[in-house]
Amino acid sequence: MEMLIAIALVIIVIAIILAGREKSRDVSDKDLSPFEPELHSASKPASDASDKDWCSFESKLHIELHSKGKLSKPEPFDYGADEWKVRSRQLREQAQWRCQACNLSLYQHKHYLHTHHIWGTRYNNPKNLRALCIGCHSEQPGGNHYLLKGTRDYQGFMKRYGKKWRRESSEDLKRDYSETKK
CB 165 within 8 A of CB 133: yes
* All structural domains of the chain with their residue ranges: 24-181
Closest CA to 97 of 54, 138, 155: 54
pLDDT tens for each residue of 52-101: 444 445 545 554 554 555 444 444 556 667 788 888 999 999 999 999 99
Is the whole-model pTM more than 0.95? no
